Structure 1
Amino acid sequence: MDDSPDSLPLSATGITGFDDILGGGLPPNRLYLIEGNPGSGKTTLALQYLFEGVRKKEPCLYVTLSETKAELAAVARSHGWSLAGIEIVELVASEAELEPDNQHTMFQPADVELGQTTKAVLAEVERVKPRRVVIDSLSELRLLAQSSLRYRRQILALKQFFIGRSCTVLLLDDNTSAASDLQLHSIAHGVVSLEHLSPQYGAERRRLRVTKLRGQKFRGGFHDFNIATGGLDVFPRLVAAEHVEGREQRLLTGGVPEFDRLLGGGFDYGTSALLVGPAGAGKSSVAINYARAAAAKGERAALFAFDERAEVLLRRAAGLGMDLAPHIKDRTLTLQQVDPAELSPGEFAATVRRAVDGADGHAPAKVIVIDSLNGYLHAMPEEDFLTVQMHELLTYLGHKGVVTFLVLAQHGMIGSMQTPVDTTYLADTVVLFRYFEAAGEVRQAVSVVKKRSGTHERTIRELKLDGGIRVGEPLKAFRGVLTGTPTYDGGSETLMGPANV
């Protein structure tokens, strides 16, 4: 019988995101190493793998050298699972070994115990004849072996034993040895590393990486994951090049003709727009207006609010004449409040992807609003990679024909302002918002400084938010509006009356 990976179907793990990373699953009848510190999720992953085998009516065996069956049952219950269908073999120390009379022997205890442990494992495999096997954990075998040579020989012996027995084996290792055991990496057909990170503030972060998988293409790099009720939820690293699709050429208009004219007609589907300026200048209001306009046409818009509470956002939008409640009720607009301290970048990208694919129980989203990038930046444990991850996300959304609005608040109000991260080169369209002083009042201005997908106005227009979004005539009587301290060169006939109150 040919048991090569090319001739047999892959052994699915039952974890959708993990199978996606692996290219469909694990090549069957091979031995794999799952390593990670205690608490990183190895046992949960292994149980999910066996439950998938039970679902496919495959015999499954869990050999535990450290935890009791009761402890495994408690883990399963926490996820709403039952161990029915999985053969559990406990090879932990018995109560008899605690008796003083059993602590003295003429033989090296490790020599006896290692042989007995290995023999017991092999005997259970012969009895159950499983298709899927988990051995938890290798740290016990390592301690019993006492030397790296003896330990390697034991693992090689186990590997030889399982060859030809149609078993796919997961070896769990909790990394409690003083140094990384690369010898074991060379023996295993594949290696998966799980990491448990603790940032200085916020929720714990978990990520995994497939460091080796012989004979099969997989998605490399780190992938974020969570452990929730129901098991591991893995978020594969987004690779935009895998999602290239054709898209139609059309514009998204927002119902404010003057603003649309600034943009040369509107925002092109399949492009991204960066709305940048100081706090309170109107960036979020403009983004929400275009999301509402899409929802009014029956297209779903998804808003992700990092900085503002949902009820405040809805109340502020209603004050500008944009009642979002009907659209939320008919599910053409979804609003999700995001807590940066509780979210990993990989999870956020997966959440956006599910909205665009319609995998979150709603229609596929055609407009995405991220408000704001400042909040997203604070969600990043490694800020150096923000622009790289954002580039992949924007490229993916572009391939899907989505209009993406990114709100970015600058530090400062008037004059020289600093941007926390430069993403202007990533966006297809850049809309600049500014405060300026005129006629003894603080006013707002808007201009389009970049649009890759077509022509746009080069003018600077006044922006007013007073019961709605209004855009005035070009500010031809002023110079230096973008600096916040303009020079007056003419009359005030181009201004739109009193400033916002």
Structure 2
Amino acid sequence: MAAGRISTGVPGLDIMLNGGLIPGRVYLVKGSPGSGKTTLAMHFAMAGVANGENVMFITLEEPAENIREDFGKMGFDVYHENFMLIDATPTTEHYVLVEDFSESFAKNLNKLTESIKEQFRTRYYSRVVVDPITMLKLASKEELEYRKAFLGFVKTMMRLRTTVIITSELERTDIEEYLVSGIIEMKLFEHNGELKRAIKITKLRGSGFDNVIRPYDITERGMVVHPDKTAP
């Protein structure tokens, strides 16, 4: 690991990032449904847990019990005491925490930011995942309101000195792309009748990076990036 960098938990991606992520910043992982965004976010979270860090993972779409079951089968330590999984999905029957606590995270982006700050009052988390932010953007009534809220979110996360990965399914994420420190794009495409996966880094403030589109696989043990290969 390069000095001053933290691992994404995916060795091939760390190579593409010239040694990993710069800590204390907000990063966007974007891609279509099924591209593996949550898997990458979980690798990032578990790399922190393996390093003895406290990690917060906020799920806004997939119920927490599904995440624990699916990633538990992959070998991820999803019941570790340093791993805080917050279920903020809209279906109340899936809430694993008391309902009003979950709703405080899910209501809107401003509320999410305040709820994260509240958690930091009792425990420091070096890594935070919000998966996916798409839900909060679609729930926002006005674009301007969302832009202000997102700016507030980024500033707050930087003040908290935590490293954040947010995921998004939206093709156009203009305000997020402008304000985050890095963007990782995950793509699904068809090649010779086969479904292929490719990953590219489109932004990494304060660092050089591999700008070649590289292939990756989702295996039964998680995500594998091939930094020595070129996507077709």
TM-score with structure 1 setting the length:
0.41
| Alpha-carbon distance in structure 2 between the residues aligned to 1:181 and 1:64 | 19
| Alpha-carbon distance in structure 2 between the residues aligned to 1:140 and 1:122 | 20
Structure 2 residue aligned with 1:92: 89
> Aligned match of 2:34 in 36, 39, 45?
39
| Alpha-carbon distance in structure 1 between the residues aligned to 2:198 and 2:112 | 32
- Partner amino acid for 2:132? S
| Alpha-carbon distance in structure 2 between the residues aligned to 1:51 and 1:28 | 15
Using the aligned pairs only, state the percent identity: 25
CA contact (8 A) 1:91 1:117 kept: no
Structure 2 residue aligned with 1:229: 220
Structure 2 residue aligned with 1:150: 145
Structure 2 residue aligned with 1:432: none
Count of matched residue positions in the alignment of Structure 1 and Structure 2: 216
Structure 2 residue aligned with 1:16: 11
Aligned: 1:174 with 2:169: yes
**Superposed CA RMSD:** 2.1
- 1:119-153 residue CA offsets vs partner (Å, 9 max, x unmatched): 33332343332001101111111022222211111
Q: Report how far residue 80 of structure 1 moved.
A: 2.0
Structure 2 residue aligned with 1:160: 155
Structure 1 residue aligned with 2:193: 201
- Partner amino acid for 2:84? E
Listed as ranges, the matches of 1:120-139 within 5 Å are: 120-139=115-134
In structure 2, the gaps of 5 or more residues are: 94-105
Listed as ranges, the matches of 1:255-270 within 5 Å are: none
| Alpha-carbon distance in structure 1 between the residues aligned to 2:42 and 2:210 | 23
Q: Report how far residue 93 of structure 1 moved.
A: 2.3
Q: Which has the larger radius of gyration?
A: 1
CA contact (8 A) 1:13 1:52 kept: yes
Q: Report how far residue 237 of structure 1 moved.
A: 4.2
Query: Secondary structure of 2:166's partner?
Result: strand
TM-score with structure 2 setting the length:
0.85
Structure 1 residue aligned with 2:97: none
In structure 2, the CA distance between the partners of 1:119 and 1:171, relative to structure 1 (3 Å rule), is same
- 1:330-366 residue CA offsets vs partner (Å, 9 max, x unmatched): xxxxxxxxxxxxxxx65xxxxxxxxxxxxxxxxxxxx
- 1:194-221 residue CA offsets vs partner (Å, 9 max, x unmatched): 001133523x210100000011111102
> Aligned match of 1:190 in 172, 182, 185?
182
Listed as ranges, the matches of 1:66-85 within 5 Å are: 66-83=61-78, 84=80, 85=82
Q: Report how far residue 43 of structure 1 moved.
A: 0.5
In structure 2, the CA distance between the partners of 1:22 and 1:116, relative to structure 1 (3 Å rule), is closer
- Partner amino acid for 1:67? E
| Alpha-carbon distance in structure 1 between the residues aligned to 2:187 and 2:50 | 28
Query: Secondary structure of 1:210's partner?
Result: strand
CA contact (8 A) 1:209 1:221 kept: yes
| Alpha-carbon distance in structure 2 between the residues aligned to 1:207 and 1:131 | 28
Structure 2 residue aligned with 1:220: 211
| Alpha-carbon distance in structure 2 between the residues aligned to 1:161 and 1:149 | 18
In structure 2, the CA distance between the partners of 1:211 and 1:22, relative to structure 1 (3 Å rule), is same
> Aligned match of 1:57 in 52, 57, 63?
52
CA contact (8 A) 1:16 1:234 kept: yes
Query: Secondary structure of 1:198's partner?
Result: strand
CA contact (8 A) 1:221 1:237 kept: no
Q: Report how far residue 187 of structure 1 moved.
A: 0.3
| Alpha-carbon distance in structure 2 between the residues aligned to 1:61 and 1:148 | 27
In structure 2, the CA distance between the partners of 1:140 and 1:182, relative to structure 1 (3 Å rule), is same
CA contact (8 A) 1:64 1:91 kept: yes
| Structure with bigger RCO (C-alpha 8 Å, 6+ apart) | 2
CA contact (8 A) 2:46 2:77 kept: no
